[in-house]
Amino acid sequence: MDRIGVAFTGGGMSPLDVVRCVQLAEELGYDSAWVAEGHGGDQFSILTACGLATSRIKLGTSISSVYVRSAPTIAMAAACVDHYSNGRFILGLGSSHRVQVGPEHGLEFSAPIPRVRDTVEIVRRLLRDGNLVNYQGEATNIETFDLHFPVLRPEMSIYLAAVFPKMLGIAGEISEGVLLTWCTPEYARVASDYVAAGASGAGVDPAKVEMATLLSVSAEGAGDGGMRRVAATYAGRFPRYRRLMSEAGFADEVEMVRRAWREGDTGRAERLVPQGLIDRMSLPSDPGARRDRLAEYREAGITLPIIAPRVSGQNAAESAQEIIRANAPA
């Protein structure tokens, strides 16, 4: 059976809806379920509920920002979910985006790569030793911190969100896995090479670093409206993903989307999203075409495709369950 995961990014679903979706995913043989951070509810509490409601499926954050929580808080939250899931938790970390960290959380966004490195090191030390005394990092300084409870596992898999070469290399160097998104099969191959180079340079076997990517998918028969909305949001708001989309061969179209978004005309921005971008950066709804596309990603180096249902509205939970059933591992 080919491994496949599922990720949830809100979309109007309640925390209980997500738990029920994860239960369904476990029943259908999914490898893992991932919960995003943003506007869809607190990821660690939702994953705790998922851990208590399931017994086999792995559970992860996709991703937890190294800015909006302190490194010790992340370590405590991760250790708690690991307890409740009986050792099934994967900690996905990332730098998030300047346009989120500042405007949405009122925090300073600076030195993302050093902060990611420091956070990984702090979390690992706390899980392994239970205490952290006088950590002096490039971006984070902590005089002292102790975990006043036993952890279930002193070693926990940490995956890093990465888009471009430098962070991809660092992910290969210091993490057990990489989380990509809005990634074409062509870029998956490029990303795999950068991750492998980072791993090899650190004396790590590249085969031991998971290559995962979130793949947007809509319910069969739902059309591309929801997908256009999501793509326009990413192209309009997030410079990294806008660059990724541009470099995938859609530079002129994405620039028009960006301009419409900046002018506040989100409807026009959605209409300007090129069909080719949707076709290349998401999974097709047709089962046969979808299997072919997944095979293309796997051949490009992706070891864990993660479907990301793009749902919204009153029927969001039902649409997500439909997508989970339609994309269940063969």
Residues 104 and 129 in one domain: yes
Residues 228 and 170 in one domain: no
Residues 214 and 116 in one domain: yes
**pTM metric for this prediction:** 0.96
Task: Dihedral sign for Cα 289, 211, 252, 218, please.
Answer: positive
Residues of the chain with pLDDT under 70: 221-225
Q: Which two tokens stand for residue 86?
A: 């009986």
- The pLDDT, as a whole number, for residue 222 is 62
Residues 213 and 252 in one domain: no
CATH code of residue 90? 3.20.20.30
Residues 211 and 145 in one domain: yes
- The pLDDT, as a whole number, for residue 263 is 96
- The pLDDT, as a whole number, for residue 108 is 92
Rounded Cα distance, 222 and 244, in Å: 26
List beta partners, residue 94: 65
Q: Among the three residues 281, 300, 317, which one is the final residue of a domain in this structure?
A: 281
Nearest 5 degrees, angle CA 177-CA 178-CA 180? 150
- The pLDDT, as a whole number, for residue 225 is 64
Residues 276 and 296 in one domain: no
Q: Which domain holds residue 239?
A: 223-281
Residues 139 and 59 in one domain: yes
Residues 93 and 238 in one domain: no
DSSP category for residue 84: H
Domain tally for the chain? 2
DSSP category for residue 5: E
- The pLDDT, as a whole number, for residue 116 is 98
- The pLDDT, as a whole number, for residue 224 is 65
DSSP H helical segments within 64-131, as ranges? 71-84, 98-105, 112-129
